Amino acid sequence: MNDYLLRRLLLIVPTLLGIMLLNFLIVQAAPGGPVEQMLARIQGMGNTSLSFTASTDGVGSDAQRGTEGVDPAFIAQLNAQFGFDQPMWQRFGSMILDYARFDFGDSFFRGQPVIELIKERLPVSVSLGLWTTLLVYLISIPLGIRKALGHGSRFDIWSSTVVVVGYAIPGFLFATLLIVLFAGGSYLDWFPMRGLTSTDFDQLSPLGKLLDYLHHIALPVIANAIGGFAALTLLTKNSFLDEIHRQYVLTARAKGASERRVLYGHVFRNAMLIVIAGMPAALVGIFLTGSLLIEVIFSLDGLGLLGYEAVLSRDYPVIFGTLFIYTLIGLVLKLLSDLTYMWIDPRIDFSSREQ
């Protein structure tokens, strides 16, 4: 077990390096870099981040127009300021050495250290992701078990219809519907639609702060979770159905074990393995993709919105800093998933795995 854990921890390093290198090369090849962005801002060209991404021809012409009539010495000064006077391999090596110390440098355009920006935005994304995952698992697992026990019943059929319809509705569309119905859009005004706390949050009592936080997070979490119920519910149901018909279940029942003992003492442990295996993917999916539009719609300053804005403005330190954090979290979650396997089913022996 210890050998396996050590191998997995060591494997994180080359995996992280490979992902960072691939994205570094892709981002460096994208037109309209930080120098062009800075020149565009100085010359008042407006929101050039949109024109840079519009088309290949537009990118080239806009970038070229941004450098026309500009003193070459000033362009060289900008290149030195952003570190582009160094070879690409040297810039990547310096970046990795700094990231190993969790030194992400300063944002090109925000005037703040990247680590401070991440610290400010991370609680928002973590709150949204963890509450969403908790809600999905608390509802989907019991629902999947209930559907497996009543396979083919009316409850099974109509609940499947509900969760599949929920899966088919895009999260951003459902978020808009929630705002229209419950956040003062056109009907009820029960929930706020901006931020995670009220303006007078600091003056509230501890209980008042908790209630205020839950009041603000309710709609974003529901909108973010709507698409996650179907996959996990059906996965839980199918996993239970597969285990219920195995020979060891028939043997346990023949020996006089109660139905509750059979289901939760034997079936549950085995059926939950595949469900737990999907937890890291669910968390990473929520953090990386699921929360971006939700953050935009509900005006939540999370990491998803920060990374998206950084890509548009070609803010390289923020792009790579958030990518490094996301990748590291994903790799650690995957390792924790394997360790949880062993905790649920001690029969699994990682130390016996081949290299």
CATH, residue 127: 1.10.3720.10
Are residues 342 and 272 both part of a single domain? yes
Q: Which of 101, 124, 156 is the last residue of a domain?
A: 101
Are residues 95 and 213 both part of a single domain? no
pTM for the predicted model, two decimal places: 0.71
% of the chain with per-residue pLDDT over 70: 82
Are residues 187 and 273 both part of a single domain? yes
Residue 285: the pLDDT is 62
Q: Which of 101, 129, 151 is the last residue of a domain?
A: 101
Are residues 82 and 175 both part of a single domain? no
> Do the domain assignments include residue 22?
no
Domain that holds residue 87: 32-101
Report how far residue 107's alpha carbon sits from residue 99's, in angstroms, rounded to the nearest whole number: 14
Lowest mean pLDDT segment, chosen from 87-96, 284-293, 321-330: 284-293
Reported as a pLDDT band with limits 50, 70 and 90, residue 21 is very high
Are residues 89 and 120 both part of a single domain? no
% of the chain with per-residue pLDDT over 90: 5
Distance of CA 304 to the CA centre of its chain: 8
> Do the domain assignments include residue 17?
no
Are residues 270 and 339 both part of a single domain? yes
Residue 182: the pLDDT is 87
* Per-residue pLDDT at 240 exceeds 60: yes
Are residues 209 and 323 both part of a single domain? yes
* Per-residue pLDDT at 218 exceeds 80: yes
Residue 50: the pLDDT is 37
Residue 290: the pLDDT is 57
Reported as a pLDDT band with limits 50, 70 and 90, residue 48 is very low
> Do the domain assignments include residue 2?
no
Are residues 190 and 48 both part of a single domain? no
* Per-residue pLDDT at 250 exceeds 70: yes
Q: Which of 101, 128, 145 is the last residue of a domain?
A: 101
Question: DSSP string of 275-344?
Answer: HHHTHHHHHHHIIIIIHHHHHHHTT---HHHHHHHHHHHT-HHHHHHHHHHHHHHHHHHHHHHHHHHHHH
* Per-residue pLDDT at 155 exceeds 70: yes
Are residues 283 and 149 both part of a single domain? yes
Both tokens of 330, joined, read 């994903």
Residue 353: the pLDDT is 52
Total domain count, the chain: 2
